[in-house]
Amino acid sequence: MNRIIPYLSIEKIAMHGYGLGFADGKAVFVPFTMPGDCVNVSVSLEKKDVIFGTADEFIHVSDLSQIPQCDAFGSEHACGGCDWLMAPYQTQVEWKTELLRQTFEQLNLSKKVRDTIVSPKTEFYRNKSFLPVGRNDDGIYFGMYERYSHNVVPHKRCLLQPPVMDEILDEIVSFAHKVKLEAYDEVTHKGILRHAGIRINKKQDEILLILVTKGSKFPFTKQFIQTMITSFPQIKGIVQNINRSVGNVILGDEDKILFGVPYLNDELIGVKFRLHYKSFFQVNTDTTELMYKYLKQSLSSDDIVLDAFCGTGSIGLCIADKVSQVHGIEEVPEAIADAGHNQKLNSIKNAVFHQGKVEAILPDFMKRISFSAVILDPPRKGVESSILLAIAEQRIPQILYVSCNPMTLVRDVRVLLESGYKVEKVTPFDMFPQTWHIETVVQLSLA
């Protein structure tokens, strides 16, 4: 029987969205709780200084608490998609600002952190979702993974994605039941369907559907295509991605275009984009536009900008009409192909995109081009220190660092501070409402 901590008072919000209380001289982290809650906690993991547990019973509920409008939230086996549905949105935003200030306190920069820029949409904002497939006695179903688990929690309606995505998933399930399509089993490695992915553009008049399968076999393909495009004429492409591996990576290296094209068309602050199904694009279009306008305002007309980790060229192309030149670098071939296409689509002449790893291309760039600003928008793992040191060595006047991971962001900012830069301001943008995640732009200049 698990150890129980009775009457734990939740005092604050911690990283990863946990409510934090204290017992027996240790910090106790409890998901789906908030300051003002008093709970009985079932201990799931205990270490020297910390305890992790779940709320078995709420003795008192915070005065700020609201009833979550999702059956899959906060239950014993809760969906891991949302952290804070029990909190009003403005409270969530205040928590995010405070968490970021606490993170930057280790650099004595908490006062540089501005208030979080709120998301225009707090629900149904995601333009992309990949959902794993589960199975029960009734057949397959879609859901989200339970936190720190590969148990698929079913849901009927997700508050983060547009309702049409749920309707598409329901149609896939209905078809699967009719043809007895089997879900992939991670233990036995049997079954066919592993994930379903959906991308949708801002106008919601173009949709991409991606089916991730264990092998190349997908029964009744023609019937499936006809069913989907009849029910959802906005579907512009259906892609079968084949992932033969036994790991937890979602996409494999093989794919087949079952219908239409593997991309859709979208727009950001007046710039048009073609997006391949594999290409990175921020999931909250409205907040992305606010962030890109902010980046644009931070630059001047004579700037020569290096757009590292440029993806489909979204940042570089959105700032191109403000600056002198843009040079983008991106490793993913499909994304760089999109960037080149998007450049031509918008008749932009002062942007050039290069395919390859930033650390491989950057040294030669530095010899030939005198950059006045660098935009860094890396994956969650952050930027290699060698890249940061190469930028610092060239004494590039301004750095705009875009990050979705506060921990790696602070680590990398520390390197830049030690290399002769200073932080002008830290601006958080709420890219991910209902979750603890935050997008941040740090503006640095030479000290």
> Between 89-104 and 406-418, two packed helices, what is the crossing angle to 10 degrees?
30
The rounded Cα 331 to chain-centroid distance in angstroms is 18
Instruction: Please determine, for residue 155, whether its predicted confidence score (pLDDT) is greater than 90.
Output: no
The residue-averaged pLDDT of 294-322 equals 95
The pLDDT score that the predictor gives to residue 358 is 87
Q: What's the half-sphere exposure (Cβ side, CA atoms, 13 Å) at 192?
A: 15
Q: DSSP alpha helices (H): ranges in 262-357? A: 285-297, 314-319, 333-345
Q: How confident is the model at residue 1 (pLDDT cuts 50, 70, 90)?
A: low
Residues near 142 by beta carbon (within 8 Å), at least 6 away in sequence: 131, 132, 133, 134, 152, 154, 155, 169, 172, 173, 196
Query: Could you give the domains of the chain?
Result: 4-65 (2.40.50.140), 98-120+280-446 (3.40.50.150), 128-267 (2.40.50.1070)
Instruction: Please determine, for residue 150, whether its predicted confidence score (pLDDT) is greater than 90.
Output: no
The pLDDT score that the predictor gives to residue 273 is 93
Instruction: Please determine, for residue 12, whether its predicted confidence score (pLDDT) is greater than 60.
Output: yes
Strands 373-376 and 398-403: parallel
> Which two tokens mark 406?
């506060």
pLDDT tens for each residue of 210-267: 999 999 999 999 999 999 999 999 999 999 999 999 888 999 999 999 999 999 999 9
3-state SS of 215-241? Answer: CCCCCCHHHHHHHHHHHCCCEEEEEEE
Instruction: Please determine, for residue 30, whether its predicted confidence score (pLDDT) is greater than 70.
Output: yes
Which of 154 and 296 is assigned the larger pLDDT?
296
E runs forming strands in 24-127 = 26-30, 38-46, 50-60
Active-site option among 70, 79, 158, 404: 404
Percent of the chain's residues with pLDDT above 70: 99
The pLDDT score that the predictor gives to residue 360 is 87
Instruction: Please determine, for residue 77, whether its predicted confidence score (pLDDT) is greater than 90.
Output: no
pLDDT tens for each residue of 360-372: 888 888 888 999 9
Instruction: Please determine, for residue 130, whether its predicted confidence score (pLDDT) is greater than 60.
Output: yes
Question: Which residues are paired to 427 by β-bridges?
Answer: 441
The pLDDT score that the predictor gives to residue 434 is 97
Instruction: Please determine, for residue 175, whether its predicted confidence score (pLDDT) is greater than 80.
Output: yes
Strands 325-330 and 351-355: parallel
SS3 38: strand
The residue-averaged pLDDT of 171-177 equals 95
The pLDDT score that the predictor gives to residue 139 is 84
Q: Is the overall model pTM greater than 0.85, yes or no?
A: yes
The pLDDT score that the predictor gives to residue 354 is 93
The residue-averaged pLDDT of 152-171 equals 94
Q: Is 404 a catalytic residue?
A: yes
The residue-averaged pLDDT of 134-147 equals 87
Answer for the pair 423, 401: CB distance below 8 angstroms, yes or no.
no
Q: Which of 82-96, 285-299, 349-363 has the lowest mean pLDDT?
A: 349-363
Going 157 to 160 to 163 to 169, the CA torsion angle's sign is negative
